[in-house]
Amino acid sequence: MSEEDDIILADLSDEELVEQMMDDLYDGLKEEIEESVNILLERGWTPYDILTKALVAGMTIVGHDFRDGILFVPEVLLAANAMKGGMFILKPLLVETGAPRMGKMVIGTVKGDIHDIGKNLVAMMMEGAGFEVVDLGINNSVESYLDALEKEQPDILGMSALLTTTMPYMKVVIDTLIAQKKRDDYIVLVGGAPLNEEFGRAIGADAYCRDAAVAVETAKEFVQRKHNQMAAG
Ligand code: B12
């Protein structure tokens, strides 16, 4: 029996439990993460605090160690899977605490890219803030984005890319919108670890958002501005 098996999660203090969750996330222990999320909820933690202070904080450590060659793809996949287990519990709760509908967003990861944790977080936080979100998943072609925009008529288009090789595809999508004279119909927000503000500007997005919290604030600001413009005629 390993040392892990001896730990009774419910007996840990909040602080110890969050530490343990970071370890469990690192080790890809989905069931333990789910149990811990439920324990913190029972203790009155808000879904948002569990998400940011335990799950996102833990995933950041995983990200650093992957970058530094300490963790490899299979371990990171396990960690991602454990995180998804926790997010699955929190998602409906984050949505519940949300305000009335703020607007609608279509979001997806670009073609060639399968990273979806950050995108899912943005989608969850946007829903939590009262936006209706249509999630197109990963590996989206220009056609996939355009079809969804046509069908869903959202206020916002969100694109995510985590690879330097896939981020230029965002420009392909925006250029197609421009060519079809549809660019001004949508607020375009982009995000993903390798992007920055300069890149966002260069490809013609309305804004680059460094994390999900900024995404929510930016989305609110732009939608409000759009409504004001419409009201002004
Ligand atoms: C988890 C992970 C994986 C998992 C993905 C699991 C999944 N379901 O997503 C797996 C193991 C599958 C994977 C595979 C690969 N990965 Co990877 N991966 C990561 C890792 C460790 C963490 C990413 C993550 O989830 N971060 C946590 C989330 C919360 O952060 P985030 O994604 O940045 O999202 C936040 C913001 O960016 C922003 N945001 C994100 N999207 C959007 C969208 C909008 C609209 C807005 C407004 C905001 C926004 O808000 C989010 C929430 O706060 C990163 C390292 C890192 N530091 O980023 C490497 C990383 C992105 N991967 C990398 C690589 C190279 C790969 C592979 C090519 C590896 C390989 N050799 O096979 C493959 C690519 C496969 C493919 N075609 O896509 C490199 C990319 C390097 C580069 N410069 O391009 C990184 C940077 C690691 C590294 N340093 O080498 N990966």
Q: Which residues 6+ apart lie within 8 Å of 89 measured at CB?
A: 34, 37, 38, 41
Quote the ligand 1 centre to 223 CA distance (angstroms): 28
> Mutate which of 48, 159, 162 to test ligand 1's pocket (most atoms within 8 Å of Cβ)?
162
Closest atom of ligand 1 to CA, residue 215? 47
Give the pLDDT confidence score for residue 129 in this predicted structure. 67
SS3 180: coil
pLDDT at site 101: 64
Ligand 1 centroid distance, CA of 100 (Å): 31
Q: Which two tokens stand for residue 7?
A: 């730990």
Strand order in the sheet with 103-109: 131-135, 103-109, 156-160, 187-191, 207-208
> Rounded distance, CA 79 to CA 200, Å?
29
- Which structural domains are found in the chain, ordered by start? 9-97 (1.10.1240.10), 104-232 (3.40.50.280)
Residue 192 has a pLDDT of 97
How far away, in angstroms, is 163 Cα from ligand 1 center? 7
Here the contacts of 4-10 (C-beta below 8 Å, separation 24 or greater) are 4/29, 9/35, 9/36, 9/39, 10/39
Question: Bridge partners of 190?
Answer: 159, 208
Distances (CA, A) of 36 to 6, 8, 16, 71, 76: 15, 10, 11, 23, 20
Report pLDDT for 97: 66
Instruction: Please tell me the residue having the least CA distance from ligand 1 atom 34.
Output: 118
pTM of the model as a whole: 0.79
Q: What is the pLDDT of residue 4?
A: 52
Q: What is the pLDDT along the chain (233 residues), one digit of tens a residue?
A: 345 567 899 999 999 999 999 999 999 999 999 999 999 999 999 988 998 899 888 887 887 787 788 988 788 778 888 988 998 999 888 877 654 567 999 999 999 999 998 898 788 778 766 688 999 999 999 999 999 999 999 999 999 999 999 999 999 999 999 999 999 999 999 999 999 999 999 999 999 999 887 898 899 999 999 888 888 87
pLDDT for residue 118: 87
Q: Give me ligand 1 centre to Cα 44, in Å.
A: 31
**Cα 49 from chain centroid (whole Å):** 15
